[in-house]
Amino acid sequence: MAAASKTAIITGGAQGIGKGIALNLLTQGWNVAIADIDSEAGADCIKEFELFSDAVIFCQTDVTDEISVQSFVDQSVERFGSIHGLVNNAGIADPYNDPVEKLSLNDWNHKLATNLTGYFLVTKHAVPYLRKTRGAAVNIASTRVLQSEPNTEAYVASKGGIVALTHALAISLGPHVRVNCVSPGWITVSDWQKESQRSEPNLSDRDHDQHPAGRVGTPNDVAGLVAYLLAEEAGFITGQNFIVDGGMTRKMIYAE
């Protein structure tokens, strides 16, 4: 047990943005418990994080299943002794659905169960430990809470729910636990996937030029902010939603 270090638990932490957050925290000396439904991705992740083998564990977890969530939290505490930070990140990344008049209730419920209810379940079981350590939680939403494409109702509703859940939790859990939200924009994650699906980003100049910052984002852009929000330096920040999108939601783009 690495009792001298702080411990963060991260859902959806074996690939993409979650993996970037996990690596960032590990390099800063945190213990990290990674939950992910994809066991192949989890095994790859643990292999890649071999340098931090004493400080990281992987638990195959279905965030829509309360028993599975409880097991993940229990394993994390058993291994590291406490929880100081929670990052809710697991979700279905595909934003598109059938046209609303054809969207099935099952598809709607599945996306909300994973992208929103999962956040509630992990938070519910982590809160007793976060209270003891006066810890912090960060929920990962999306800039789609501010703008939409056609046929994305289930995804957008789930992400909007995360932002609202964040400020509700901040009020309910304060002052002992801080809760904030990060809404990423266009983040390229193809090179942060499990080995069998990994590829180099295929991005055009036009893709980058849509962003006032001059480029598409990477998981590192999100990870740095998440690490700060979990840290004591952010002790006066709670209930907020931070946009990480290279300025894209501020730029007017006209059809050509």
Is there a contact between 191 and 199 (Cβ–Cβ < 8 Å)? yes
Regarding beta strands 178-184 and 136-140, do their DSSP bridges make them parallel or antiparallel, or are they unpaired? parallel
Question: Which is the catalytic residue, given 96, 155, 228, 254?
Answer: 155
* Termini Cα distance of the chain: 58
In whole angstroms, what is the distance from residue 8 CA to residue 30 CA? 7
Closest to 140 (Cα-Cα) out of 185, 77, 193, 191: 185
Distances (CA, A) of 66 to 73, 118, 141, 166, 172: 11, 8, 21, 20, 21
The question of whether 254 is a catalytic residue gets the answer no
In whole angstroms, what is the distance from residue 145 CA to residue 135 CA? 26
C-alpha dihedral (160, 92, 113, 104), degrees to nearest 10: 90
Is there a contact between 228 and 195 (Cβ–Cβ < 8 Å)? no
- Catalytic residue numbers, as ranges: 155
